[in-house]
Amino acid sequence: MVFPELQLAIKPFEYFDYHRTNIGFHGTTVESANRLVAGESFRTSDSDDDWLGKGIYFWEYAPKQAWWWARSYKKLGEPAVVGSIIWSGNCFDLLDPWNLKTLREFHGSLVDRWTEENIEIPTNARHHRNLDCAVFNFMYNEAEGVGTPIDSASGVYVPTAKAKRVWKGSWIYDDAHIQICVRNPKSILAVWHVRPDGRYGKQPARKKRRGYGSYGKIVTHLQSMSSSEFRQALLSAGIITKAGNLRAKYKRMAKS
């Protein structure tokens, strides 16, 4: 259903296909990354506070941002990152002034209609962008209703806190980044594993540490050694000679 009151805002959806591809990076778990690289579909984020609405989210050309998100922000137990080639298609790019004009008009018309219908209007608070999410989701549905579905949306996130400026008065901000919200899963053309340094490939598996895991276990093992096992351990550590004598450097340490 398309509301007549919103037609003015819908008409600008007659945009051109961007005819370009982007490289995006998606934070996830090792298990999910393996499935995605094997060909399974991405899960669409359907939270009610995603700032670009419902879709599959990627960090544009920013693998380390994706690793930060998976490791430090989400604190996933076994974090991983995959890279993807994304066909922008019909892209609602927020760096395009005309798209911003469309979005602003759409928001105004939608809020007016919500008010007329006495429906509670969502709000934005800190990292929870409920109003933004609702506006984008409604806009996506309306765009599909008039035959011009949006394949992807992209926007620049710039922190508002002054503390995020790289220095006083600068227009450069720490944590600024571009995110892509993919609406059409067919726009994801290829998927691969990404290492923490941004290179292609899986993160090397962590090597299990040899030993007994704790000092308590080491002490227990030491106490249970036979005389020959203990001597062999001292020899392996370079503390005694094959003849069983204490090496000279340890004698000096013992005297001091």
Pairing type for strands 152-157 and 177-182 reads: antiparallel
What is the pTM assigned to this prediction? 0.73
**DSSP string computed for 58-111:** EEET-HHHHHHIIIIIS--SSEEEEEEEEE--SEEETTSHHHHHHHHHHHHHHH
Single out the residue of 73, 99, 85, 74 nearest to residue 154, CA to CA: 99
Q: What separation in angstroms does the CA of 95 have from each of 22, 137, 225?
A: 15, 19, 70
Q: What percent of the chain has pLDDT over 70?
A: 82
| Top-confidence residue, 208 or 100 | 100
Split at pLDDT 50, 70, 90, the class of 183 is very high
For the stretch 49-104, pLDDT in tens is 899 999 999 999 999 999 999 999 889 889 999 999 999 999 999 998 889 998 99
Backbone angles phi, psi at 194, to 5 degrees: -130, 130
- As a whole number of angstroms, the distance between CA 188 and CA 185 comes to 6
Q: Is 180 helix (H, G, I), strand (E, B) or coil?
A: strand
- As a whole number of angstroms, the distance between CA 115 and CA 124 comes to 17
